[in-house]
Amino acid sequence: MRDLTPHEIVRELDRYIIGQERAKRAVAVALRNRMRRMKLTDELRAEVMPKNILMIGPTGVGKTEIARRMAKLVGAPFLKIEVTKFTQVGYVGRDVESIIRDLMDTAISMVQEEREAEVQTQAEARAQERILSYLLAPKNAREIAAVLGLESEAPVPEEAVATAATPARRRRATPAAASSQVAAQAAPARRESARLRALRKKRITEALANHQLEERIIEIELEPEDSIDTVLEYMTTFNNDDAGDMMPSFFAPALGGGHKRTRRVAVKDARQLLAREEAQKLIDSDQVVEESTRRVEQNGIVFLDEIDKIVGSKLDYGPDVAGEGVQRDLLPIVEGATVMTRFGAVKTDHILWIAAGAFHKHKPADLIPELQGRFPLRVELTTLTEADFKAILCQPAHALTRQYQELLATEDVRLTFTDDGLDAMARAAREMNERQENIGARRLHTIIEKVVEDISFNAPDLAGQAISIDAAFVQGRLGAIMADEDLSKYIL
């Protein structure tokens, strides 16, 4: 994890998210406490538990984005999941332990990519050697040499060897002498053949290094797709009775029984496929699993979205399998438990949990008391104002206006947004959120797309032009829609 101070974390979040200072400060402190914990003694470190966060606020105000950017900032395994897809254990649907399995898969992919980047140079060199061996195969080498302008290799002339001695001399020569004459006659041809092969290899090697053979189709061999991880993934769906019958057929490919795959691809594509395969051979899979497990256990972050949707009135009879039942299943893994994954056991004691919900119909106190206690930090996010909408349009590092400017620049259309144009779009977003469902900053995507719709459609015909989006332009595109209550419901 990067050793960032709370102020540095907030500044980084400010680059992408407008407002919500309280939420930013809360996650900054949570991250900093993780770094502090790692500097404690082993005995004390095990006792310091993460202070999980409950974010309360309407949709589209930045709850998910804060959590996602925070995880990316420190390189932590991150999983965003909607709790409405889970059901109580024993009923049809996903069980909550799959959260940890999915988080572990995310960490494996993250560490795998890092390890592949470390050995990329070596893997590419190995891939280049394999491609060269395919190109130098006899069935390819002569044809490629001809394309490169080399003389085709002439075969050893059998007639010359056969007539190396005259009939009279052949009658007088002993078998040993005749053999010497044939060898002497064939030696120049063999030397010529070796010289041509060396020249051919040199020219093909140079052509490959200079990317002159990128479109050349070659036939390569790849390892079987079936791997031990894939087998274990399938095995998790079988019960003990099934496993005994299925194990031989499943493990045969993974343990070397599978055949290599043959593919005909261009050299440029073969380079990528073979480099990936060579990188896999250079990586220690056990170390990948070990590092991934450590990251999940010590740095993992889980974002539980829509947690207010599993809060409901208590049933008079029967289990609440999608409400309180899910809360009770969440309780042990949030508190700290050991979950079995296909990569081994994972402890959840120090995973940081961030739950979020709008809580329009319910309040956080409606959660079961045990789960409430596992989220000691509660942060309320504020509804976005018109000023916030304007800032979101132009201030973040990848603001919406900049995205559209760059997209249209690819068509040689120069798009600019004036200050009053930004005001008009922000005002339209606020009004529509007040008149209809409040979807927060997501309304801006609809507004700006409607404003530049005609420009985007006609961009190929507008090449070389500069277009300014001002208040009049925005009013011309949105005025009629905003005035028509029924029409605005369907369009904005």
Q: What is the mean pLDDT of residues 341-364?
A: 92
Residue 238, pLDDT score: 41
Could you report the per-residue pLDDT of 226-247, keeping only the tens digit for each? Answer: 444 444 444 444 444 444 444 4
What b/e sequence results for 165-186 when a residue is b if at least 16 CB atoms lie within 10 Å of its CB, and e otherwise? beeeeeeeeeeeeeeebeeebb
Strands 352-357 and 53-56: parallel
Q: What pLDDT was estimated at residue 239?
A: 41
Chain Cα centroid distance, residue 425? 33
Label residue 28 by pLDDT band (50, 70, 90): very high
Q: What is the mean pLDDT of the chain?
A: 81
CATH of 6-117+291-380, one of 1.10.10.10, 3.40.50.720, 3.40.50.300, 3.90.550.10: 3.40.50.300
Six-digit token pair at 156?
């050893």
Nearest to 351 by CA among 6, 16, 17, 37: 37
On the question of pLDDT at 322 being above 90, the answer is: no
Nearest Cα neighbor of 330 from 353, 364, 314 is 353
Q: Is the pLDDT of residue 385 over 50?
A: yes
Cβ neighbors of 293 (< 8 A, separation 6 or more) are: 104, 107, 343, 344, 346
| Whole-number pLDDT of residue 180 | 59
Q: Is the confidence at residue 168, as pLDDT, over 60?
A: no
What pLDDT was estimated at residue 258?
A: 56
**pLDDT, tens digit, for every residue of 197-208?**
777 788 888 888
The percent of residues in the chain predicted with pLDDT above 70, rounded, is: 78
* Band (190; pLDDT cuts 50, 70, 90): low
Give the mean pLDDT of 377-386: 92
DSSP code for 461: G
Mean pLDDT of 332-347: 93
Dihedral angle computed from the Cα positions of residues 162, 163, 166 and 170, in that order, rounded to the nearest 10 degrees: -10
> Does residue 317 register a pLDDT over 80?
no
What pLDDT shows up at residue 184?
A: 52
DSSP states of 350-367: T-EEEEEE--SSS-GGGS
- When mean pLDDT is compared across 134-143, 181-190, 451-460, the lowest value belongs to 181-190
CATH 1.10.8.60 residue ranges for the chain: 386-486
Residue ranges matching CATH 3.40.50.300 in the chain: 6-117+291-380
DSSP, res 310: G
| Residue 406 pLDDT greater than 70, yes or no | yes
The predicted pLDDT at position 231 comes to 43
Rounded CA gap, 407 and 360, in Å? 38
Residues with Cβ < 8 Å from 437, sequence gap 6 or more?
A: none
Instruction: Collapse the DSSP code of 261 into the 3-class scheme (helix H, G, I; strand E, B; otherwise coil) and give the result.
Output: strand
What is the per-residue DSSP string for 84-124? Answer: GGB--TTSSSB-TTHHHHHHHHHHHHHHHHHHHHHTHHHHH
Q: Which residue, among 62, 13, 11, 32, has the nearest Cα to 356 in the 3D structure?
A: 62
The predicted pLDDT at position 245 comes to 44
Q: Read out DSSP for 170-225?
A: HHHS-HHHHHHHHHHHHHHHHHHHHHHHHHHHHHHHHHHHTTSSTT-EEEEEE--S
* Domain range 386-486, its CATH number among 2.60.40.10, 3.90.1170.50, 2.40.110.10, 1.10.8.60: 1.10.8.60
Q: Report the range of poorest mean pLDDT among 8-17, 59-68, 155-164.
A: 155-164
